[in-house]
């Protein structure tokens, strides 16, 4: 059994390169910016920052110790499906944090530290997650509680846990500002993780309702070189059948499309919605 696990992990060596890179980047964000300025931006590492105020143990090693019982409970409740990669990432990140803490602090400005720390942590964690791993902590806690209380979403549990960590930092360090900066850092981290996983070049889905749908669709196909799909619709006020045009375009083409539609039918009803991932011709190839 152990031989099979080792063989499988060795085949995934490319993932480990990504995990190591992600942990180094996250470790730099934590060790250079967040930890030295006592910014506990949620998670087990944030809890370690708070506990470090009472127990003089390095934050990285403390986060490893805090994660061990979480992993044990996770195995009991969820099984070992979270994988060896996550365990490796958790241990490696802990030591990486302590390594970077030894470096000179780039800035003592708490706002800059919260911004750049959150940016680096988000970038690193995004890379780790993209390589089929996690760094333990609150995401495993969320999965455990979600298993026990399925009526509470993972997002809600994460928000509760991270909020409790930030609240504890406010109480321990007796500073509301520390908590506010931690919240900023946590928000930036979350946004950057999404950007790494989903990409930053978000597309837009455009829906167009017009009596001149044929003319508009032809113009989009010829001038924007984008595909258009006609959906059957019915105006409930007038009772007449209509063709609703659906077109997915990149952000840079939005102004051209709106101008094109306006030039053909200034009374057209147009609305846009954000699209995070698009696979197919003209966009990202299918994975």
- HSE, side-chain direction, 13 A CA sphere, residue 30: 33
- Residue 238, C-beta contacts closer than 8 angstroms, at least 6 positions apart: none
Per-residue pLDDT, averaged over 98-107, amounts to: 94
- CATH fold of the domain at 203-275: Alpha-Beta Plaits (3.30.70)
pLDDT band at 199 (very low <50, low <70, confident <90, very high): low
* 201-222 CB burial, b ≥16 within 10 A, e <16: eebbebebbbebbeebbebbee
Q: Write down the pLDDT at residue 188.
A: 92
Report field, pTM of the whole predicted structure over 0.85: no
- HSE, side-chain direction, 13 A CA sphere, residue 238: 7
4-14 per-position pLDDT tens digit = 555 655 667 78
Using CB atoms within 10 Å of the CB of residue 10, give its burial: 0 to 12 exposed, 13 to 18 middle, 19+ buried: exposed
Query: With pLDDT > 90 as the criterion, what percentage of the chain qualifies?
Result: 36
Q: Write down the pLDDT at residue 41.
A: 85
20-42 per-position pLDDT tens digit = 999 999 999 999 999 999 999 88
> Domain coordinates of the chain in residue numbers?
2-198, 203-275
Q: How many residues does the chain have?
A: 287
Compare 154 and 183 and report the one with higher pLDDT.
183
Distance, CA of 105 to CA of 270 (rounded, Å): 51
pLDDT band at 273 (very low <50, low <70, confident <90, very high): confident
Whether the pLDDT of residue 201 is over 80: the answer is no
CB 21 within 8 A of CB 125: no
CA Rg value for the chain: 24
The average confidence (pLDDT) of the chain is: 84
Distance, CA of 33 to CA of 41 (rounded, Å): 11
């Amino acid at each position: 059994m152990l031989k099979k696990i080792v063989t499988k992990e060795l085949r995934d060596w490319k993932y480990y390169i990504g995990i190591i890179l992600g942990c180094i980047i996250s470790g730099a964000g934590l060790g250079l910016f967040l930890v030295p300025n006592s910014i506990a931006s949620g998670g087990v590492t944030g809890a370690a920052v708070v506990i470090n105020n009472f127990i003089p143990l390095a934050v990285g090693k403390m986060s490893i110790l805090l994660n061990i019982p979480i992993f044990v409970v996770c195995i009991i409740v969820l099984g070992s499906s979270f994988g060896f990669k996550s365990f490796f990432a958790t241990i490696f990140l802990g030591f990486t944090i302590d390594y970077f803490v030894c470096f000179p602090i780039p800035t003592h400005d708490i706002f800059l530290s919260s911004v750049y720390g959150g940016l680096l942590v988000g970038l690193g964690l995004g890379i780790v997650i993209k390589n089929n791993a996690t760094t333990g902590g609150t995401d495993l806690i969320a999965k455990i509680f979600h298993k026990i209380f399925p009526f509470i979403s993972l997002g809600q549990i994460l928000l509760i846990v991270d909020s409790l960590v930030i609240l504890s930092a406010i109480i321990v360090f007796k500073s509301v500002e520390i908590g506010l900066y931690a919240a900023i850092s946590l928000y930036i981290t979350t946004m950057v993780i999404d950007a790494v996983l989903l990409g930053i070049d978000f597309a837009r889905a455009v829906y167009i309702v017009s009596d001149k749908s044929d003319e508009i669709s032809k113009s989009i196909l010829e001038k924007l070189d984008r595909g258009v799909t006609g959906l059957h619709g019915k105006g409930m006020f007038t009772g007449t059948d209509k063709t609703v045009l659906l077109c997915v375009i990149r952000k840079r083409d939005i102004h051209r499309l709106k101008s094109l539609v306006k030039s053909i039918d200034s009374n057209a009803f147009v609305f846009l919605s954000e699209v995070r991932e698009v696979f197919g011709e003209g966009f990202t190839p299918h994975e």
